[in-house]
A and B are shown apart, each in its own frame.
Chain A
Amino acid sequence: MLTPPPCRSLLAGEPLPGSHPRSRCRAWLSPASWLLQVVLLLFAGHVGAADTVNLWHGYRGAERAAFEQLVEAYNQSQNAVIVRTLAVPYGGYADKLSAALPRGQGPDLFVFAHDRLGGWASAGHTVAPIDDLVDAELRTRFPENLIQAMSFGGHLYGLPFNFKSTALIINTDLVSDAPQTTDELVAEARRHSDRNTGRFGLAYSYTEPFFHGALMNSFGNGPFDARGQLALDSRANIQSLEMLTRWVRSEHILPEEPSSTLVTSLFNQRRAAMVISGPWMLGEIAADIPYKVVPLPRNSDSGRPLAPWAAVEGLFLSPWSRHPQAAVDLMAFLTSRHAAEIMAIEGGQLPANLTAFEHPQVAGDATAMAFRAQLDTAAPIPNFPAMTLIWAPLENSIKKVVKGAAAPEAELHQLQRQISADLARLQRSRARSGADYSMPLWLWLIPVVLILVAAGLWRRYHSGLAAGWRANRNAYLYIAPAMLGMTLLVLFPLVYGLLLSFTDTTVFNEHMPLWSRWAGFDNYVSILADLDLWRGEGAGRSLDFDNFYWTLLITICWTASNVILAVGLALLLALALEKPIFGRGWFRVILILPWAIPNYITALVWKGMFHPQFGAVNQGLQVLGLAPVAWFDSIGASFFTGLVTNVWLSVPFMLVVILGGLQSIPKDLYEAAEVEGAGRWLQFRTITLPLLKPVLIPAVILSVVWTFNMFNVIYLVSDGAPAGANDILITKAFRIGFEKYQYAYAAAYSVVILMLLFGYAIWQTRVSRTLEAAR
């Protein structure tokens, strides 16, 4: 007895009733050609001709139009090479470069901020020096400090293209004279600040090190001393934090929890009289706001001008380029005076070739000239490898200090110790990798032993295996395609991660042979054996949020509370939705919505709603007559923000699962129970729950695994605030790998995560099996 497949008529190509085959054909012609193109593209590999020069950049909008116009002009001007550009969105750019370049892939040259140069140059295989390809004349196009920004270890690695730094942007309706000193700035700002109505004299992303750099540099030398040694806890840096704390906590001239979005909104609504920001903000200032840009004032305490950090967008050369000379020629073209003028006039950029500012159209632009003037006091971000380690931890420290959770001095001492330790780890791996190149003999034993074991097993079991194969050939054939894919794309990365976790691989020794990086169980020992939950002594004693067991505790609380809440709420909603009710269809669609919309944006909306001053949650609390909560200041409140967001995101899945489960429960059971006089609660306990269990258990296992590894919500909403206390294991692993560049340590973390979840899954299936057996 065979049931015919119902869609057979469609497959056989019979026309749908009521449609005219011929007209349909014509209408489908152009989609058909597009489809053909699609099929061709599907199988297209690299489309690189021999004389193509690939150029990656992150520009968009007007700057991108100007940039591509220049490249087009270059392609017209010569016949040797064709330049192809690729715009990469900011969020994936750094990852794309660090995936491609060290593996011999990627572009010939690329545009990127200069502050990663030291890391790339020390790691090798990512950028190539261009000293030999550049003549002295070309160097003189740029001011010395921008050339220095593009140099590391005595080599020049690229040409500066554009620069970006912050300056002071003033609402000229509110502030008539630009303040010349920080005392004037504070006095002016105080006149415009009123916390209760949400008005501030000054607004900027002061917790971000890039912005705080202006203060640090005006007191001293920034995060490094004159010899390039890490000096985060220098007197100057402490003073800079003390000044910022004064502005926030006693003068009240700055808003809480600043972000670039908040700063722009405040300025556009005339609630911020002055902001510190860069050229990137200009395009977002509302048309009806009169503003002017002026250089930052002088620091009244130190007598030196505030020196903002400048990010230099450089043109870098890939070490794998087959056309290095052509690439450098292109660099020379793009940084010529003519090109710089186009970038400035049409792209609204600040070109590193300063002759562009002599062009009458640029020279007459007060905004451009103000940023140009700011460059004289600005300091390029240090490009030491250690710099990349500083951003995230320094931001945490600044947040802690301005919230009054730590004193500037103690916090910076602590930070200095922590980053020195991270740095030492990286240095150690580099030193080791240089030392021994010969593969130790015992490593050969591993493959030999593996082969012997495999051969032994084969000898012993091969008759059984062969019989098993013959008996279940059908089954294995059905599974083979899926297993092949899994082996290739899941098992291999897993083994790779496992191997990596036994090494001391960091960004510096990634290219050394595996055996020279071998570190045995070191990573696991330092993760698992660190039982000291405290750090610091005496008054400075605090919980060490980087400790594995703290993070594990948070992760378990996170997973348990999420799954319990999601299951509970979904159960409640499913019970309400189970029987017909007015508007049931609509409710079902609405309640599933969070599943359909990319969680990236909804997570960010939730973060905005939890903003302590302008978020909808606190505003709602105030309407109800309750006190607002500082959501990201304490461990509990910050945990709550992530919890709410994630439950909101995960209820729909559970709801769908449970709704279906409820439907599969036979209705006559309830009727029988009713006849026997069982109440609703009793019915729920004795019928609904037990019969839901088989539906719930697989869903709960999957959702535990997913929640345990829920990266987006933690990263986007609370970002581990305060100070990494709310990081779960996966975000911690990410930070170790991508913010501290200790790849092997991150891999060991991942393996530990895997083991924990594996243990959980086995335990859960065993428990549910025993329960079933007992039933």
Chain B
Amino acid sequence: MNLPNDSSPRRSLLAGEQPRGPVRSLVAFACKQAPTTGRAGRILRDIFSWRFALLLFASLIVIYPLLWVVSLAFSGQQSLTLVQLPEDASLGQQLLALIPLPEQWNLSNFTAVLTEQPFLRWLGNSLVVALSTTLLGLSLSCSAAYAFSRFRFAGRERGLMLFLISQMFPAVLMLIPLYVIVVQWLGLGNSWLGLILVYSITALPFCVWMLKGYFDTLPYEIEESALLEGASRWMIFTRIILPLARPAIAVTGLFAFMTAWNEFILASIFMDDESLYTVPVGLRFFVSDYASEWGFFAAGSILVSIPVMLLFLALQRYLVSGLSAGAVKG
């Protein structure tokens, strides 16, 4: 008898669209052979299932616009080559013409971006700002989320709501008051500390909501027995809860990181020293109202995205369990 998870792909294939002709016989062959040929058969069966078709289609849609960015970055040029369908060409050739590929591959955009301005330095600045934001944002949100999750106190509901409200006021209109507070009152213009403060607070609501939900799912019994053994609240928080919540912390940390990593307008307004600019500010040098160097911008964007993608890959296994369990009782 087949195991349940072994049989389900085949059933889904039968429920989905019916392949015809040679494909059908191939699939029939694959299905028949599946239990014996093992891996190869499973792969074939996977490839002809509706799930695979759907995922492939979605991936193509996701990748297509990104391909434009990549092709522009590697083209060595500043503006996109326009698509123009060859006339009297076959359907295949016409479709091929729609795929954005540079006429020749060329790294000159990347070298120009990296050498003509202190791009690596800006990347380093961004890294410092984003990591500090992550650290500060996480320590603020972990402790707040712990309190929201484990204590029952007056103002708890209202406090949670307050965090949500802060996401509702349009950010573009907070610019001037933030400038007044950070630069004029706190005197933190032209220092990363000002940026880090603002970014951590911006990321706080999402982090608190998600972490609070995750803490809610952690069993309370461990804490109770620890309390009986005389552990303090602080010890429980740092020694039990935080290690257990690592997946959620990884995910909210990633969110805080991205908040700081991609922000442009505040960074450009607060910083009065070019060597202190963060990388999104540096990127915008390539775009202006008159002439825009889109090739440089694309190359820079790819460079900027690499650290984030690496983080995504590193945290991938946390990503799924971290957010969901966090949201279960959020």
Chain A residues at the B interface, C-beta cutoff of 8 Å: 1-6, 34, 38, 41-47, 54, 58, 60-61, 86-92, 95-96, 99-100, 103, 105, 164, 197-198, 260-262, 264-266, 268-269, 271, 278, 280-281, 283-284, 286, 468, 471-472, 474-476, 478-479, 481-483, 485-486, 488-494, 496-497, 569, 572-573, 575-577, 579-583, 585, 587-602, 605-606, 608-609, 614-616, 619-620, 622-623, 648, 656-664, 671, 674, 680, 694-699, 701-702, 705-706, 708-709, 711, 730, 733-734, 737-738, 746-747, 750, 753-754, 757-758, 761
Do B324 and A619 have beta carbons less than 8 Å apart?
no
Question: Could you say which of B172, B206, B226, B330 contacts A734, with CB atoms under 8 Å apart?
Answer: B172
Expressed in whole angstroms, the minimum distance between the Cβ of A649 and any Cβ of chain B is: 10
Do A6 and B243 have beta carbons less than 8 Å apart?
yes
Do B95 and A623 have beta carbons less than 8 Å apart?
yes
Question: Could you say which of A100, A472, A601 contacts B69, with CB atoms under 8 Å apart?
Answer: A601
Contact A471:B169 (CB < 8 A) given known A2-B226, A486-B201: no
Q: A5-B243, A660-B327, A695-B328 are in contact. List 5 more A-B contacts (CB 8 A).
A: A45-B189, A485-B201, A620-B98, A622-B85, A661-B328
Residues of A within 8 A of B156 (CB): 475
Do A278 and B82 have beta carbons less than 8 Å apart?
no
In the assembled complex, the Cα of A479 lies from the Cα of B143 at a distance in Å of 6
In the assembled complex, the Cα of A730 lies from the Cα of B171 at a distance in Å of 9
Question: Could you say which of A475, A481, A572, A598 contacts B140, with CB atoms under 8 Å apart?
Answer: A481
* Number of A-B pairs, beta carbon distance below 8 Å: 413
Question: Could you say which of A3, A592, A598 contacts B304, with CB atoms under 8 Å apart?
Answer: A598
Expressed in whole angstroms, the minimum distance between the Cβ of B273 and any Cβ of chain A is: 7
Residue on B with the closest CB to A743?
Answer: B176
Do B289 and A90 have beta carbons less than 8 Å apart?
yes
Question: Could you say which of A60, A582, A730 contacts B285, with CB atoms under 8 Å apart?
Answer: A60
Residue on B with the closest CB to A4?
Answer: B239
Do A698 and B191 have beta carbons less than 8 Å apart?
no
Do B287 and A589 have beta carbons less than 8 Å apart?
no
Do B320 and A593 have beta carbons less than 8 Å apart?
no
The secondary-structure label for the interface of chain A is helix
In the assembled complex, the Cα of A476 lies from the Cα of B69 at a distance in Å of 48
- Residue B177 is within 8 A (CB to CB) of chain A in the complex: yes
Do B178 and A489 have beta carbons less than 8 Å apart?
yes
Do A269 and B82 have beta carbons less than 8 Å apart?
yes
In the assembled complex, the Cα of A60 lies from the Cα of B119 at a distance in Å of 14
Contact A45:B285 (CB < 8 A) given known A89-B268, A761-B161: no
- Residue B259 is within 8 A (CB to CB) of chain A in the complex: no
Expressed in whole angstroms, the minimum distance between the Cβ of B310 and any Cβ of chain A is: 10
In the assembled complex, the Cα of A680 lies from the Cα of B176 at a distance in Å of 55
B180-196 CB contacts (< 8 Å) to partner A: 180-184, 187-193
User: Could you name 8 residue pairs across A and B whose Cβ atoms are closer than 8 Å?
Assistant: A260-B290, A269-B82, A490-B166, A493-B169, A581-B51, A592-B319, A602-B66, A698-B327
5 closest Cβ pairs, A-B complex: A660-B324, A92-B268, A475-B151, A90-B288, A493-B177
The secondary-structure label for the interface of chain B is helix
In the assembled complex, the Cα of A536 lies from the Cα of B170 at a distance in Å of 32
Residues of A within 8 A of B328 (CB): 661, 664, 694-695
- Residue B135 is within 8 A (CB to CB) of chain A in the complex: no
Expressed in whole angstroms, the minimum distance between the Cβ of B225 and any Cβ of chain A is: 6
Residues of B within 8 A of A88 (CB): 268
Residues of A within 8 A of B240 (CB): 2-3
In the assembled complex, the Cα of A616 lies from the Cα of B66 at a distance in Å of 13
Residue on A with the closest CB to B246?
Answer: A6
Residue among B59, B132, B148 with the highest chain A CB neighbour number at 10 A: B59
Expressed in whole angstroms, the minimum distance between the Cβ of B54 and any Cβ of chain A is: 5
Expressed in whole angstroms, the minimum distance between the Cβ of B186 and any Cβ of chain A is: 8
Residue on B with the closest CB to A624?
Answer: B91
Residues of B within 8 A of A485 (CB): 140, 197, 200-201, 204
Do B179 and A103 have beta carbons less than 8 Å apart?
yes
Residues of A within 8 A of B253 (CB): none
Do A89 and B281 have beta carbons less than 8 Å apart?
yes
Do B4 and A705 have beta carbons less than 8 Å apart?
no
In the assembled complex, the Cα of A708 lies from the Cα of B244 at a distance in Å of 35
- Residue B329 is within 8 A (CB to CB) of chain A in the complex: yes
Residues of B within 8 A of A577 (CB): 51, 55
Residue among B148, B153, B193 with the highest chain A CB neighbour number at 10 A: B153
Residues of B within 8 A of A757 (CB): 168
